[in-house]
Amino acid sequence: MQQIPLVCVPFAGAGASFFRPWGTLAGDGLKIVPLQPPGREWKLDEEPYRDAAQAATGLLPEVLDEIGDSGRVTLFGHSLGAVLAYELGHRLAATPGIEVVRLIVSGSPGPWSARPDRASGLADDDFLRRVEEFAGYSHEALANPEMRELVLPVLRADVEMHENYLPADDRPLPAPITAVRGRTDELVTTEQAEEWSKATSREFTLTEVDGGHMYLAQSAAPLLRLIADHVTRG
């Protein structure tokens, strides 16, 4: 069986290492490809993106290298990662010889829904408090003053990118979309997750799973089984 690359786009403040454990959980049909945007982990000295369209264009060559000769790819993104994966999906769909098998978006309203409350521009403590309210989750590194100084600039850049996001292309993506939402997610409603149905010209599926907004931090295995099932179906 030829594995289909599952390109995983990090959420705000996260890096490729979040998805490393997924490689042993994904089964035989998927090849986990964690993207590493600049400004974090081994790209710490690179300037982070602040614009989603620029980020997708900048990350595209890495994705194409990972796809190789297979020509087929599935994309996954959570929260900020969802809109970045959507932007990547449009660029990949426009690339000759590439088939976007499916886009899986998680913990995100549709791409045209702006967040009413903002964190950009707040002082550090207020900013981190607001981000924790948004995510219902706080990265353990933020409790360490030295690590906090390293993480804060890229988290600010990611939040700014997300809060200012507007889709670069209003045309529906010519690939199926699966939207995933935690049943107790207080940040994204069922109706908001259903907005992704307008972002595809193909099949749309909404699936709700146990957990809140950051359900994937506690239970990756059920999510990967769901993804594998939807990719096979696609």
Q: List the domains of the chain with CATH numbers.
A: 4-114+167-233 (3.40.50.1820)
- What predicted TM-score, i.e. pTM, was given to this entire model? 0.92
d(CA 213, CA 182): 6
- Tokens encoding 45: 């000295």
- Tokens encoding 53: 């369209």
- From edge to edge, which strands make up the β-sheet containing 99-106? 30-34, 4-9, 72-78, 99-106, 177-182, 204-209
pLDDT at 134 over 70: no
The confidence score (pLDDT) of residue 105 equals 98
Better-predicted residue by pLDDT, 29 or 87: 87
Mean pLDDT of the chain, nearest integer = 89
The confidence score (pLDDT) of residue 139 equals 65
Better-predicted residue by pLDDT, 230 or 123: 230
Q: Label residue 203 left, alpha or beta by phi (over 0 means left) and psi (-120 to 50 means alpha).
A: beta
Amino acid symbol at 8:
C
pLDDT at 122 over 80: no
Banded pLDDT at 83 (limits 50, 70, 90): very high
Amino acid symbol at 74:
T
pLDDT at 26 over 90: no
Mean pLDDT of 73-83: 96
Q: Label residue 5 left, alpha or beta by phi (over 0 means left) and psi (-120 to 50 means alpha).
A: beta
Contact of 182 with 210, CB cutoff 8 Å? yes
Mean pLDDT of 112-137: 72
Contact of 193 with 181, CB cutoff 8 Å? yes
